[in-house]
Amino acid sequence: MDWKTKEKLIKYILLIFAMSSIMFLTGIVIVLFREGLPIFYKIGIIDFLFGQEWYPTYDPASFGILPLISASVLVTLGAMIFAVPIGLSTSVFISYIMPKSIKNFIKPTIELLAGIPSVIYGLFGMKILGPFLKDIFGLPTGLTALTASIMLGIMALPTIISLSEDAITSVPKKFRDASLALGGTRWETISKVILPTASSGIVTAIMLGMGRAIGETMTVLMVAGGASAMPKSILKPVRPMTATIAAEMGETPVGSNHYQALFGIAIVLFIITLSFNIIADLTRKRFYKKVSGK
């Protein structure tokens, strides 16, 4: 077999793999909307999205998912408030302050944290963080939105740190040297030159971290408390959308309104996650045009 034949063979194999991935993703989306769309016709989009009661097993049943959406938004924002300052500061420290010999050890270690199973984070939240917050705030239970937010923030840190560090490191060295040559301090160079130039990658890292947080299932199922009511405080138990699907899907009759409502939640979650990705891509392009002047 000559090299041209081998090249064509590899080309067709890669094409098959690429088309297969597209077909699988298309199939998932089709099944998701086929199973979930009927609930929007039966309940109504407004009542389903903005109803404040989720009692799918009652008679009559209530399928309002606003408490679930609010819980997901609350723990995701809490996670970002926790993770973004720590992640950004760590990435700057690794890039420009930490000695290279230590950096070569620390960065791979941080990236390895992304491979820890989410159930391990959940156990840590249940056995250590939850009781700690319970004693600090005098709560009846430590399984609250705050616990979920901190755990999700910890889980998002490897993504934010790694991608932000890559973006900061990719800033040309001449930018830093020019700033220092003009009399700028190290902090002024970082805050006024490095970070604005790397803002495209940093924003993308934050958006991907948000996507990781809002899509996490096992950890929030274990540490959020599981209360499907409107969150009144970050110190109260909540139930995000992912936890609801995971907790209830296994015992739901196939084809029932409850079953379709869970797929409806999955559709809402899919749209939110897709929106995050689109916003991240548009933001990245806008910042790139701003920095490059193109």
Domains of the chain in sequence order: 54-292 (1.10.3720.10)
pLDDT range class, residue 289, cuts 50, 70, 90: low
Q: SS3 for 24-85, per residue?
A: HHHHHHHHHHHHHHHHHHHHCHHHHHHCCCEECCCCCCEECCHHHHHHHHHHHHHHHHHHHH
**Arithmetic mean of pLDDT, 222-247:** 89
Q: How far is CA 205 from CA 163, 165, 211, 229, 280, in A?
A: 5, 10, 10, 31, 9
**Which ranges constitute the DSSP H helices of the chain?**
3-43, 45-50, 66-96, 100-113, 118-124, 130-137, 145-169, 173-181, 186-189, 195-197, 199-215, 218-223, 241-248, 257-292
Residue 150: pLDDT over 90:
yes
8 A C-beta contact, residue 211 and residue 72:
no
**pLDDT, greater one: 139 or 294:** 139
User: What are the pLDDT digits (tens) for 80-138?
Assistant: 999 999 999 988 888 888 877 787 788 888 878 878 888 899 999 999 999 999 999 88
What pLDDT score does 168 carry? 84
Within a 10 A sphere around the Cβ of 136, how many other Cβ atoms?
10
pLDDT range class, residue 294, cuts 50, 70, 90: low
What pLDDT score does 80 carry? 92
**pLDDT, greater one: 283 or 176:** 176
Can you give the pTM of this predicted structure?
0.86
